[in-house]
Amino acid sequence: MNGSVNTNSASSKKKKNGRFNFVDFTLIVILLLILGALIYSFSPISLIKKWTGNDTRNIQYEVEFTNVDEAFIDMIKTNDAVGDAVTKSNIGTVTMVNNTKYIEYKTVETVRDEGGEAIKEYTVTPVEYPNKYNVLVTITVAATFSEGEGYSVESTRIAVGEKMALKFPNFKCEGYCVGVTEY
């Protein structure tokens, strides 16, 4: 027994080292759960957040197009479908169109002499352009709302101040969202 080698214990160690057991499986699952929780907490556009925490809300948003030529102001009509010109997705239906004259404000500098001293005065004057208009389009859509991210329709974000490239059946233009309301 002193000089003999116990082969049973060596082979049993090899079997133990090469086997995948329940404890290994449990540790791998725990590590994957921790990794998933980290991705969920630090990624604002994570798929998990898109699947949870979103709800659909009916909204009306207004987009203003400025300096539109008179020939184009009648090309946007109520009940027209509205598309995002970049993503080509449908982002609502026109419910109202308002046109107002395009006005630009110019600063005029005048210099007057007051007791030998030149005094500069600045006046802001509105200048109305006869063939140019501002077009305010009200659009209705069911949008997805996500806390911290706001409203979106498909992949188009809808927010006040957001620059939007919109496509109507007979017209395409860039404007800014100037209002969003839920109804």
Task: Note whether residue 168 is domain-resident.
Answer: yes
In the prediction, which pLDDT does 8 show? 54
The range of the structural domain enclosing residue 135 comes to 54-182
In the prediction, which pLDDT does 114 show? 78
pLDDT digit string, tens, across residues 84-106? 999 999 999 999 999 999 999 99
Output the pTM of the full model.
Answer: 0.65
Q: Which amino acid is at 139?
A: I
Task: Note whether residue 82 is domain-resident.
Answer: yes
When divided into structural domains, the chain yields a total of: 1
Does residue 141 sit in helix, strand or coil? Answer: strand
Task: Note whether residue 162 is domain-resident.
Answer: yes
Query: Residue 92 and residue 146: Cα distance in Å, rounded?
Result: 18
In the prediction, which pLDDT does 46 show? 55
Task: Note whether residue 22 is domain-resident.
Answer: no
Q: Assess contact for 90 and 82: CB atoms under 8 A.
A: yes
Query: Residue 46 and residue 93: Cα distance in Å, rounded?
Result: 29
Q: Which amino acid is at 144?
A: T
In the prediction, which pLDDT does 29 show? 95
Instruction: Give me the DSSP letters along 5-32.
Output: --HHHHHHHHHHHH---HHHHHHHHHHH
Task: Note whether residue 137 is domain-resident.
Answer: yes
In the prediction, which pLDDT does 55 show? 81
Task: Note whether residue 131 is domain-resident.
Answer: yes
Residue numbers in the chain where pLDDT is lower than 70 = 1-18, 41-54
Task: Note whether residue 171 is domain-resident.
Answer: yes
Task: Note whether residue 2 is domain-resident.
Answer: no
Cβ count near 15 (within 10 Å): 8
